Structure 1
Amino acid sequence: MPRLFVGLEIPSAIGVQLSGLRGGLPGARWIDVENYHVTLRFIGDIDEPTADRVADILDDIRRRPFPVTIKGARSFGGKKPHSVFACVEPTPDLMALQADIERKMQMVGLPAEQRKFTPHITIARVRGASGSAVANYLGMRGFFRAGPFTAEDFTLLSSRASQGGGPYIAEEVYPLDAPAFDYGLEQRI
């Protein structure tokens, strides 16, 4: 049974910039640079026929490439943080792509995602770090910026049961190559 999710993979140059955030937080388990990504939709453990339907229906999504900018760092978990992430700017293009993917997942019978989509790149798991240590870390690195880079595709990824952070395998890549829409410029005869 594959564990699947849909994401934007991060260019290696951006990954190198993000790797500069590593260190300085006792108790953190840092994500390997090659596993940085923006999760667009977590799917989870599903059977092979459903996985095949997911792979097929994602091929129907048509969007143009768009810029992705990383601005800042934060944590999830409130007073008991569990992860530290780099914030991805929630542009209209990114949010529309994520909404398209969500609709497609519901079309294959998967339940709606209950959490609000917050575009981010997880850089560390911090279950062993105190809230004050995470706050201090973010106070020094919270103004991080990288990009923009152009999202030219999105990927169906799989992972094996692990502690989080990979390794991830690209199962299928879907190009963002929709032609530009002609806004009322019709050919006149």
Structure 2
Amino acid sequence: MIRLFTALEIPGEIAGRLTRLQRGIEGARWIEPSDFHITLRFIGDVPEDVANDVDEALQEISFDPFEIEVEGVGEFGGKKPHALWAGVRPSEPLTRLQARQESAMRRVGLKPETRNFTPHVTLARLKGIEPPEVYRFIEANNLFATPRFEVSRFVLFSARTSTGGGPYVPERTYPPEAE
């Protein structure tokens, strides 16, 4: 079995800006900058033969390069925050790429993703952090934004079967449609 997901990589300059956000919450487990990414589709634990089917399906996805930008911060978990993230400005090309991957994974036989697609970069895992501390961080950093950057490929990553999963290993890259 191998745990897989597809994602967009974060360029070094953008990762540096995100790293500067990683302070101010005592006890947060900050994500390593090398593990920053924007998840497109969590695939989960699959046998090797299914992983090969996933790879073949992903190779069929065509897209044109597009630009995105990271903006704002937030949390997942509500009254019990468990993750802190930087948001990604919604864009039609990003949504379309994610939808194509979802369709491809269904064709392979994987169950549909039940969560709505919320593009983001996880900054920290939170356990036992009081909500007011998290909300102060969000308020202090809610205007965070990065320059736009080009998405010129997506990546199939493998992860450890543990909480947090990193370090993530790029297994295959998929460039945009050939000219």
TM exceeds 0.5? Answer: yes
Asked whether 1:65 is paired with 2:61, we answer no
1:35–1:165 CA contact under 8 A, matched in 2? no
Q: Quote how far apart the aligned CAs of 1:165 are.
A: 5.1
Distance apart, 1:177 and its partner CA = 3.4
Structure 2 alignment gaps of length 5 or more: none
- When residues 51 and 95 of structure 1 are mapped into structure 2, their CA distance, relative to the original with a 3 A threshold, is same
Q: CA deviation at 1:147?
A: 2.3
TM-score by length of 2: 0.97
Identity %: 44
Q: Which residues of structure 1 form unaligned runs of 5+?
A: 180-189
Superposition TM-score, scaled by structure 1 size: 0.92
* Contact 1:152-1:177 at 8 Å conserved across structures: no
1:46 and 2:85 equivalent?
no
Which structure is larger by alpha-carbon Rg, 1 or 2? Answer: 1
Aligned mates of 2:84, 2:57 — CA distance in 1? 32
Match of 1:31 in 2: 31
Aligned Cα root-mean-square deviation (Å): 0.9
1:113 Cα deviation from its structure 2 partner: 0.3
Distance 2:155 2:128 in 1: 31
Equivalent residues, number: 179
8 A contact 2:159–2:165 mirrored in 1:
no
Deviations 1:121-165 (A, max 9, x none): 000001221110000111111211012100000000001123305
Q: Runs in 1 of length 4+ with deviation above 2 angstroms? A: none
- Contact kept, 8 Å, 2:6 with 2:41, in 1: the verdict is yes
Quote the Cα distance in structure 1 between the aligned partners of 2:127 and 2:67. 32
Asked whether the 8 Å contact 1:31–1:165 carries over to 2, the reply is no
